[in-house]
Structures are given as structure tokens and as C-alpha cells.
Amino acid sequence: MKGKGLLQLFIVLLIVGALGFVSIVGFGENKSGSMKDVKLGLDLAGGVSITYQTVKEDPTADELSDTVYKMQKRAEGFSTEAEVYPEGDNRITVAIPGVSDADSVLQKLGSAGNIYFIYGKGPDGVANITSDPNAESGYRLSRTMEEIIAAGDLVIDGSDIQSASAKMRQDQYKGTVYYVDLSFNSEGSQKFATATSYAVGASEHIANVIAIVYDGVVVSAPGVNSVISTGSAVIEGQSSFEESSELATTIRIGALPLELSVLRYYVEGAQLGANALDTSLVAGAIGLGIIILFMIIMYRIPGVAASIALACYVGAMIICLNLFEVTLTLPGIAGIILSIGMAVDANVIIFTRIQEELGSGKTVNSSIKLGFNKALSAIVDGNVTTIIAAIVLFMLGSGTVKGFAQTLAIGIILSMITALFVTKFILNAFVKLGADKVGCFGEKKGYKKMKIIENFPKFAAISGVVILAGIVAIIINIASIDAPFNYGLDFSGGTATTFTMDGEVPSDINTTLDEKIRNEIGISAVISTVKDSSMVTVRTKELSTEDRAKLTNIITSGYSVKDENITTETVGATVSGEMKKDALIAVIVATICMLIYIWFRFKTLSFGFSSVIALIHDVLVVITVYAIAKDIISVGNTFIACLLTIVGYSINATIVIFDRVRENMAEKLDKESVADVVNKSISQTFTRSIYTSLTTLVMVVLLAILGVSSVKEFAIPLMAGIIAGGFSSVCIAGGVWHLFAKKNKVKDEN
């Protein structure tokens, strides 16, 4: 038996060692897959910045906004964390993280010209294209686009195209067919139906063709086989997926409301400073060490097993970030922190169950088996609801929301696997090695009964006062600063101040300059440096004349820069209105999906509604913190990620308690009331609620202590959200469900 236990433990340690080696060193000739190969976002490592200028001199605000949004979707093909924002009245800047070759990115992204679909030969019998073996598509224009448009031979243009994507499928002979999948808006669908009906009816070959023209060049000339009136079409004939992808990219680039030309491009440094990632990693390492020590002290042998499983989780997470080419940013780190908290939470739930079984007199082997079995539903339900949210957020969100959803989904899946399988495997190995005494595990003989339902009005009053304070703060903010919150550059746009230094740019300029601006002007700044250049850009909210003079003085006096080497430009928000709308829709859909899952699992909507009310409570508390602490924290890009983190944390914490309520309701004694069951369930899971909140809080507190100023801005409201989540799951959610139970007349008798 001991030999088998040693073998099991050896296998686990071998896996941990292999994961650790790959995470640190990498594998293969290129040593790929290690931590150093993880793609980092603009905030942690910088990337390529490209500024376009509209060909149209005075575009409307709507045209510029629509173009920014479409360019955002295009840029997300390179990275979910790409940023696109307007600069001035006729410029758009695209910043793509994780790359350092500006020329390569520019070549792939392209200069966004106009795309046109035209008749091969118009109804008047005049050919618009002619065969040309030297052209890549085999065709060239036989007259100018101006002449083609004037003749009425234009089928659709970029404004009629909704999407274009490369795809592949198998034909009837098991061969691979590469194609471009097109979809049109309602107006474009009508135009294309009319055009294809003409093309199908035409007799000459060239009239059966609808050519695609980009910047005056025929890039493709597909034939028309049937009338297309469904609003979607496919373009076949490409020899590879890369060729299909290139054509789809060209169509998407050209499907912009405005034609763009490249103004400038360069590689910029990390927006949070060179040491932002280092301090975050140090905070994470210390936090993980504290959590491991805590688990061992509180749970003994199971704590050791959980610690080894956590080591597996960390190594697997790094490999998955590489494998799925996830771009890691500060919000992404939040997703990992949340998943670590949930990994610890799963272990705490299991170990608490094991201790309860040991306390009732069962053997260690029996207690381990029962502990895992009884903990399974709570772990699965809590994790699945969070995974549902992550999937919806990834599918419907954009920018930061997608990046957060990726890391959260990967982390949750890995944490569930390590808790349910790796920890169990290690525990069984320890038992076979002789750790089969109760003293190695600890036991739990009962619990202190809490009167949550009796005190629910008091808890609700406390929450009401906090939320009311937030409402008052918002009203005061609107009166004093004409906005409910201190909106950062990401949300409101502002001023970009660029200056060129005479010598080399100091490596710590992000931190030192940001501190000077905060101290002397009282605002935060996003500072970017340029690789192999002495140029620095400081983006802040819109500055008054007085504040602009202060910033100029900070730059000239602190960095020996002359006034003539300083320029300013108005920049727009990196979080566009469409991105906010996408995020809101994603959260609403995710909440509905979670409600449906909870309804399916718990057989009643009351559990779902109570969970959502607790979730809303936590979000409102975090919003209160943003409103009250406006002088310390601003509403920026991480605001969305912070709220999403709280949503995931809150729903999981509440589900664990409700799982115990469901179990206890099924076993309710005649003398027990529904209120007694709720109190009992919360009391039984109270230790888990406290431990999970503490372990998650440790990670965030260390980020707040050790992180740079921008990281602290993110950590402070997250701390408030974790505390609020712990409070609502224990003191609010059960009370709300009890109110639903009373209203629906859930009987106290069995």
C-alpha cells in the first residue's frame, strides 16, 4: 500500500516538476511555452501604435465613431486587448500589444482604403473589368471607379458590408474548401439580391462576375451561380486558409465608413511602467506563499495536498496562456486572481466536508470519499455559472472584456480540475503512506449557530446606508465636477501631451512623472515611451489652461525639455460607446444565462433571483467606492474588469451557500422552520466564506501595497468588492431567499 502511495506521489511531483520546468525554462529548440513567452498587453509591455488620418478632411462625429468601432473589431484579430481611439477631429490611433515589429503589423493591418463590389459588365453592355494574367486576381479594371460609379455599375460598397471572415469545410470528396463568409446589412442585402438576379440572367461570362475592388485593384472576381437574397454569401476558390483570411481582411478593412491613410507608426513602451509586471508578479508570489502556508496550518495534510495542486494550477495556467495565445493585461491578472480564489474555495469546501464527516465518527477513507461527493455539486454549480458568464462575455464583449473572459474561463476550468482530481489523487497517496489518522486532517464537531434571518433587517439597513452614501456621493459629484465619477482617459478622452527629450528616456519615467502629475495637478496619467526614441506621450483627461501650464512646467523643469519640443492633441476615449454597450449587453445576457442554469439546477427561480440581488448589491457597493473615493481612483479601463470580477466572485460565493440550503431543505426535520434551515446552512458554510474571502483578499491587498499607482487604482475597489461579496453571501442572499420562500409559502413542515 505504501509503495503505491509513493508511486502516486512521485507521479504528481514529476508532473509538478515538468510543469514548473516548462513554465520557467520552456520546451523545444526555441524554449517556447515559458512565462517569458506569455503575450503581454499595452499596459504591461507596450506594443505597436499606428495613427491613421482620414482622407476626408472634415468627417462627422458619427463617421469617426463608426470607423473607430470597426477598426477596434479589426484590431482584435491581432489581440483582444487592442486599443483604438480617435485623436483630434480626423485621426484614429490603433495600439496593438504583444508585438514589436511595427512594419509587419502595418503590412497585415493594411492602410484602410475603400472596398467596392461592381458588375463585371454593366447592364449597358460596357465591361468594367478585363482579363489580365499579370494581375493576382486575373482581372484588372478597364475603366476608372469614378466612371463605373457614374454608370451605375456599383453593386455595394463598404458601408453595406456587415462582416467578412475566413472559413473552411470539407466537400463531398473529403477535400478541404477554403472560402470567405460574407454578411450584409439590410440595405446591402437588397442591393446584392438585385445585382445577383441580373448576373445570373446575363449570358456572357464577364457579366456573371461581381468583382471586388480595393483601392482601385481587383482583388477577387467570383462568379455568381444563383440569386442571393438571404443577406449572406460565400466567395470560394482560394487555395489556402491564409488566402481566404487575406481576402476577408481586405474586405473588412475596406468596409469602413471612412478611408484612412497612415500618418505615423512606432513601438511604444509599457503604459504602467517597466516595473508594473514585476511588482504584480512579486505580489502574486507572496500572496500564493501566504495562501499555501494558511492552507497547511488550517487543514494539515489536506492543506499540503491543496498546495501541491495549486502549484500544478500555476504551471498549467502559464502553459495555457501560451497555448491559447492569450494577451495578459491587468484585467487578465484579475481573472487569474479570481480563479486562484475559486481554486482555494473548492478545496476549502471539500476539506470542510471531510472534517464534518470525521466529526461524525466516520473513517478517514470514508470521509474523503463522502467529502468529495458532497462538495461536488457546490463546486460544479459555482464554477459552471462563472464559466457561463465568461463564455458570454467573450462572445459578446470586446477589448478588455474579452481578455478578462479568456483568463477567467481558463483559470476556472483548471482550478476545478486541480481541486476535484489532482487534490484527491494526492490525498489518497498520503493516506496510503500512513496519513490515515484523524489528527492529520482535523475534525469538525458541530458549528456555532448564527441568527442571520433574525438580524437580516439590520444587515439590509447597513447595506442600504452604504448604497445611499454612494447615491449621495454621485449627486455631489455631478454638482461639483459635472460627472457621477472621476472618469479617466479611457472613458472620457482628454489631452495627449508629447515631448522629446535631449537624452535617453529614464527607465522609471512612467512612475516618477505620474507621481509628479498626481501630486501637482491631482490627476492620473497614462504615459507611453517609444522604443529607440526619446519621445514620451502623456495622456490625461482634458486639461484646463492652468493645468496645461502646470504640466508643461513639470516637463520642462523635471526633464530639461524646451517648450517648442512639447505638443498637445485632443484624444478620444479608448472605451467607446459601442464597447460600453457591448459590455452591458454581455453582462445582461450572462446574468440571464446564469439565472437559467440556477433555475435548472435548483428547480426554482427564487435561488437565482436571490443570487442576482446579492450580485447587484456587490456591484452597487463597488460603484459607491468609485463615487466616494473619486480623488483616489478614477473610472478607467479596469473599471469594467473590476465589476466583472465581482460578478464572478459574488455569484460563486452565493451558490455555495444555496447549495447547502438545498441539501438541508431536503433533509429538514419536522421541528425545523425554513428560517432555521437558512441559519443552519449559512453557519455550516461560514468558515468557508471567511477563508475564501481572506485568501482572495490577500492577493488583492498585496497588489495594492506593492503595485504601481495604476495597479493600486484597480486593487482598491476590488478589495471593497471582495468584502462586499463575503458580506452579501453570508448576510444578504439567504435573507432575500427566505423572503421569497415566505412569499411563495414554502412550508415549514416536511
| Class of domain 47-107 (CATH, top level) | alpha beta
Q: What is the pLDDT of residues 651-692, one digit of tens each?
A: 888 888 999 898 888 887 777 888 999 999 999 889 888 888
Each residue of 32-91: pLDDT tens digit? 666 677 777 777 777 788 888 888 888 888 778 878 877 877 777 777 778 888 887 888
Kindly tell me if the per-residue pLDDT of 110 is higher than 60.
no
Topology of the domain comprising 494-571: Alpha-Beta Plaits (3.30.70)
pLDDT in the model for residue 406: 83
Q: What is the pLDDT of residues 442-489, one digit of tens each?
A: 877 777 888 999 999 999 999 999 999 999 999 999 998 888 888 877
Task: Please check the confidence at residue 737 and state whether its pLDDT lies above 90.
Answer: yes
- Residue 560 falls in which region: left (phi positive, over 0), alpha (psi -120 to 50) or beta: left
- Which of 255-269, 321-335, 419-433, 526-540 tops mean pLDDT? 419-433
Rounded Cα gap, residues 548 and 560, in angstroms? 17
Residue ranges covered by each domain of the chain = 2-24+273-440, 47-107, 115-255, 456-471+576-743, 494-571
Nearest CA to 156 out of 234, 210, 208, 205 is that of 210
Residue of 54, 51, 50, 65 lying closest to 90 (CA atoms): 54
Contact 727, 460 (CB under 8 A): no
Question: At 641, which amino acid appears?
Answer: A
Query: 3.30.1360, 1.10.287, 3.90.25, 3.40.50: which CATH number matches 115-255?
Result: 3.30.1360
Render pLDDT for 205-251 as a digit per residue (tens, 0 to 9): 677 889 999 878 898 999 888 888 888 999 988 888 888 888 887 88
In single-letter form, the type of residue at position 289 comes to G
537 half-sphere exposure, CB direction, 13 A CA radius: 23
Residue 270's nearest CA partner among 611, 78, 536, 56 is 536
CATH 1.20.1640.10 fits 2-24+273-440, yes or no: yes
Among the CATH numbers 3.50.50.60, 3.40.50.2300, 1.20.1640.10, 3.40.50.1970, which is that of 456-471+576-743?
1.20.1640.10
Q: Are 463 and 732 in contact (CB under 8 A)?
A: yes
State the pLDDT confidence band at 291, using cuts at 50, 70 and 90: confident
H/E stretch holding 345 reads: helix 330-359
Residue type, 213: V
Average pLDDT (520-540) is 81
Query: What is the percent of the chain with per-residue pLDDT over 90, rounded to a whole number?
Result: 15
Query: In 10 A of CB 627, how many CB atoms?
Result: 22
C-alpha span between 435 and 304 (Å, rounded): 12
- % of the chain with per-residue pLDDT over 70: 91
Q: Tell me, what's the pLDDT at 634? A: 81
**pLDDT class of 749 with cuts at 50, 70, 90:** very low
Q: Which of 636, 485, 638, 489 has its CA nearest to residue 573? A: 489
The three-class DSSP label of residue 181 is strand
2-24+273-440 and 115-255 share one fold: no
Average per-residue pLDDT for the chain: 83
The residue ranges of DSSP E strands in 205-342, in sequence order, are: 210-214, 217-220, 232-238, 260-268, 327-328
Grid coordinates belonging to 533: 526614441
Nearest to 367 by CA among 438, 426, 317: 438
Q: What is the pTM of this model?
A: 0.71
**Which tens digits make up the pLDDT trace of 631-652?**
888 887 678 777 877 877 788 8
Residue identified by cell 472634415 is 58
Q: Provide the phi-psi class of 224: left if phi over 0, else alpha when psi is between -120 and 50, else beta.
A: beta
Taking only the tens place, the pLDDT of each residue in 315-333 is 888 888 888 877 777 777 7
Once rounded to an integer, what is the mean pLDDT over residues 20-27?
74
Secondary element (H or E) of residue 694: helix 674-706
